[in-house]
Structure 1
Amino acid sequence: EVITTVDEDMAALLETFDRQGALRTTAIMILSDHGLHVSPAFLMGETAGLLENLMPLCHLILPRSLLDSSTDLRQNLLANQQKLVSSIDLHATLRQLAYWPNPPPPGPDTISNYERRPFRAKSLMGPIDNERPCADAGIPEDLCVCQVTS
């Protein structure tokens, strides 16, 4: 897979950040725009391959001081590892990080997608519902992982 060509460079970069102490004060979000889409399972249309493609990588590296500042924050991040989130939720997370420890200033928390259906952004640092439908996360039906599994 092509991504393996970046693994060593990414690891070296993160190790450099750690050695320089940058990870004590810096939040890092590592994302991909899609999951694995060149596997035999995806190319053959198998459910596992379709699911892989619809669930891109999302890693959040936070300073220990931030994680230790709130038990709720740590619990929410752990609980949200397996929750349905979208890019607009990542935006809400970045806004919350930018203003931490204060809440972000008032602003639009409801956004309309191309179908004019409102959905509400949820920061990964707060609670996210277990049964959140794709429409509530602003995920179009044709990209909804729930449609593949049902």
Structure 2
Amino acid sequence: MSKFKNANLSLISLCNECPNYNSMDCSKSKCLVGFAKDILQISEETSERSIKNGLSMIPIYDLKPYNKELIANSIAEVCKLCSECRKNHYEECILSLVRRSLEAAVFSEDVLFEGSILMYLVEVSKQNPELALIMKNKYMKIV
């Protein structure tokens, strides 16, 4: 079973809401969710834990409207994987890149993440208390 199964399912839920999904207009390289799905797949297939210069690859110009609750749920799934990792946090790890890509869909500024889920939720609540609560509730259900 894929270690990223739940995160992938969460991302697929986001794709299913997109009118471009599975059409000629679907461009994963220009889509925040498509990027996240692709790097999880790359990691699954190659066991790569990071992507050099990965932050610069996030398609921050994707301005599609995303379902904020589904984004929050997806971020919570990634946070669960982060908490299970037990490695030192670094910004270009696969999970951090997925989280940052999803954050770009709903936050106007980067959210500080230093490896602690609790402190991360505090930072999220500074930008959007409602999303922080959704993330916290989802995270607590899956850990």
| Fold conserved between structures, TM > 0.5 | no
More helix by share: 2
The structure with higher relative contact order (CA 8 Å, sep 6+) is 2
Q: TM-score, normalised by structure 1?
A: 0.31
